[in-house]
Amino acid sequence: MGDAIEYCAPEGLEGVVRALAERPGAGVLLAGGTGLVPALKRGLLRAERLVSVRALRSHRDAARTPDGGLSVGAFATLREVASSTAVRAVSPALAEAAQQTASPALRNRATLGGNVCLDARCWYYDQSERWRASRAPCLKAGGERCYANQREKRCVALFSADTPAALIACGARARLRGPGGERTLPLESLYSGDGLAPLAKQSDEIVTEIELPASAPRSGSAYEKWRERDSIEFPVVGAAAWLRLGAGDEVAEARIALTGVHSGPLRLGELESSLASRPVPDAGDRDLHERVGRSLGRLYLAEAVPHKRHIAGVCVAAALSRAAAHAVRSAP
């Protein structure tokens, strides 16, 4: 991987920001390493300097905020997020998404910030150098064409991280720090939808905190993940649902976000609107399954496209159903 790569582990956030800024475009943030190290091994990442958060003491906790919301440090591990009572109280979807990511050993290292900033994936791209030598480099690797997309010159790498779907459904905001200062934005705005560069931030900006608002009364959330095996793998589809129940237990408001289907997390806005003022749909509602499947648009990088559409529908319905159950149990 190269003898020349530097490594540093600054003690404060300012030091981390400065170390990244000193190597514009060639410094990379190293948190858990579970995304970065495979990319280095495969020759997908050209880095001159690894800037580690190992020595940082801040931004590692999940805690309730004075207004009843939640603030989770970007460098909290997924295991910490999954097992946090604070997280579970405010967003069961986030706890479930973190709990179902990867495998136990990976969750002991992977961080929330790393998962939120995970690169989009493609089976033409996430391969060894030797494998990729069988064809000219793809768009994402700096070449001229996308092999997964025969119709147009556009990278369709899939965004496949679990926690962002849950976070977006629960109305999360992300705090970023860069050389120019700090900014906060809705997490949804962090995603460009472009498989080539899925994150709409500068390379020297770091996500430092994820904030969730206090749970509205009679609201609940859930995350439903479908993968071929029950551990290790990325989702084929992950569906997060948040809803708030009205006086008659109908859906007052709903938010649904999917991962694994497009080059960024996907909000199902039309479906959300259509659920308002209606009873919570049944997990087995076939109409709902089909509507979700139709709302996904063109799907790339799926082993079985019709099945994936159907599974997306099953996952959305299941997530809504469990979110409603949680809402009913929550304090009025």
* Binding region for other proteins (CB under 8 A): 1-7, 9, 30, 33-34, 37-38, 40-41, 50, 52, 54, 79, 102-106, 108-109, 123, 127-128, 130-131, 133-134, 226, 228-234, 284, 303-304, 306-307, 310-311, 314
Nearer to other proteins, 180 or 284 (CB): 284
- Residue 83 neighbours by CB under 8 Å, 6+ apart: none
Cα–Cα distance measured from residue 122 to residue 42, given in angstroms and rounded to the nearest whole number: 13
C-beta closer to other proteins: residue 13 or 237: 237
Minimal distance in Å, beta carbon 211 to other proteins?
27
Q: How far is the CB of 169 from other proteins (least distance, A)?
A: 22
Cβ-proximal residues to 92 (8 Å cutoff; 6+ apart), any chain: 220, 221, 222, 223, 323, 326
With b for 16 or more beta-carbon neighbours within 10 A and e for fewer, the 71-82 pattern comes to: bbbbbbbbbbbb
Q: CB-wise, 127 or 192, nearer to other proteins?
A: 127
In the complex with other proteins, the residue whose CB is nearer, 183 or 286, is 286
Q: Are 85 and 61 in contact (CB under 8 A)?
A: no
**DSSP tag of 139:** G
332 alpha-carbon distance from chain centroid: 30
Q: How far is the CB of 306 from other proteins (least distance, A)?
A: 7
**Please, what is the minimum distance in Å from the beta carbon of residue 172 to other proteins?**
26
- The DSSP bridge pattern shows strands 219-226 and 181-186 to be unpaired
235, β-bridge pairs: none
Q: Which is nearer to other proteins, 122 or 170 (CB)?
A: 122
Q: Which is nearer to other proteins, 110 or 280 (CB)?
A: 110
CB of 78 to other proteins, least distance (A): 12
Per-residue tokens: 191: 């995603």
User: Least distance in Å: CB of 253 to other proteins?
Assistant: 27
Q: Cβ atoms within 10 A of the Cβ of 12, count? A: 12
Judged by beta carbon, residue 47 or residue 252, the one nearer other proteins is 47
Q: CA-to-CA distance for 148 and 69, rounded, in angstroms?
A: 41
Q: From the CB of 259, what's the least distance to other proteins, in Å?
A: 17
H helix runs in 11-137, sequence order: 13-21, 36-41, 78-83, 85-90, 92-100, 104-107, 112-116, 129-132
